[in-house]
Amino acid sequence: MLNFSQRLESFLKEKGISQSEAARRCDLKQQTISYILKNNLTSSKLAPKIAEGLNIRLDWLVHGEGVSDERNIIEIPLISNYKMLKSFVTKNDVNFDSFVYMDKYIGLKSFAYLYRSNVIIVCYDPKIKDIGFEYLNFIEEEPLITNEKKREDCFVVLERRIRHEDF
């Protein structure tokens, strides 16, 4: 049976979360996560904070009981224009009326953009991890999806959602 450090390490690997990203989510120093993983700890007083930050079930992390996580639904804002997007990215103080739901965490600056009346583009900031094949760029405040970064302030397209009726 895996111990505390081994369970944490396996969870991070399975979810593709780096030590620094885990530390950020848990409001800890990266060195703290590194220490836990390197020293093969059987327990830690930080377990509740780590479980909350990574959205892991505490019983699983501490005792290995049950499953590591339950499917959690993450709410990301639906943004409909360039001005709103810029405000969200720079200030994060926009009040949103509409949201899109994801079953995985894709970063604090993730969002959905209403590209056309029936197309939503789910994006995230490429500073987090750039695995994109398409990018949402803005040319004179007009959205444009391209296969390359046209500007530094573009966003990685994670997925497109198309409906047969308008959003």
Evaluate whether residue 167 is within a structural domain.
Answer: no
Q: Is the domain of 110 the same as that of 86?
A: yes
Q: Is the domain of 58 the same as that of 110?
A: no
23 pLDDT more than 90 = yes
Task: Average the pLDDT over 73-85 and give the result.
Answer: 87
The pLDDT tens digits of the residues spanning 136-156 come to 988 888 899 988 877 777 888
Q: How far apart are CA 121 and CA 115, in angstroms?
A: 6
The pLDDT tens digits of the residues spanning 24-65 come to 999 999 999 999 999 999 999 999 999 989 988 888 899 888
pLDDT of 59: 86
**Least trusted range by pLDDT, from 42-46, 70-74, 78-82:** 70-74
25 phi/psi in degrees, rounded to 5: -65, -30
CB-based contacts of 16, cutoff 8 Å, min separation 6: none
95 pLDDT more than 90 = no
Evaluate whether residue 135 is within a structural domain.
Answer: yes
Q: Is the domain of 102 the same as that of 52?
A: no
Q: Is the domain of 97 the same as that of 147?
A: yes
Q: How far apart are CA 118 and CA 111, in angstroms?
A: 16
Residue 31 structural domain:
4-63
How far is the first Cα of the chain from the last one, in angstroms, to the nearest whole number? 48
The number of C-alpha atoms within 13 Å of 159 and in the hemisphere containing its C-beta is 8
CB 121 within 8 A of CB 142: no
Evaluate whether residue 82 is within a structural domain.
Answer: yes
Q: Is the domain of 124 the same as that of 146?
A: yes
CA-to-CA separations, 163 to 65, 81, 113, 117, in angstroms, rounded: 40, 19, 14, 9
Evaluate whether residue 104 is within a structural domain.
Answer: yes
71 pLDDT more than 60 = no
166 pLDDT more than 80 = no
Q: Is the domain of 156 the same as that of 84?
A: yes
Residue that terminates a domain, selected from 44, 63, 82: 63
Phi-psi region of 23 (alpha: psi -120 to 50; beta: other; left: phi over 0): alpha
pLDDT of 119: 92
CATH code: domain of residue 21: 1.10.260.40
Strands (E) located in 80-154? 99-102, 111-116, 119-124, 135-139, 142-146
Q: How far apart are CA 8 and CA 56, in angstroms?
A: 9
Q: Is the domain of 149 the same as that of 80?
A: yes
pLDDT of 66: 77
Q: How far apart are CA 54 and CA 128, in angstroms?
A: 16
14 pLDDT more than 80 = yes
80 pLDDT more than 80 = yes
88 pLDDT more than 90 = no
Q: Is the domain of 15 the same as that of 85?
A: no
Site of tokens 């290995």: 64
82 pLDDT more than 70 = yes
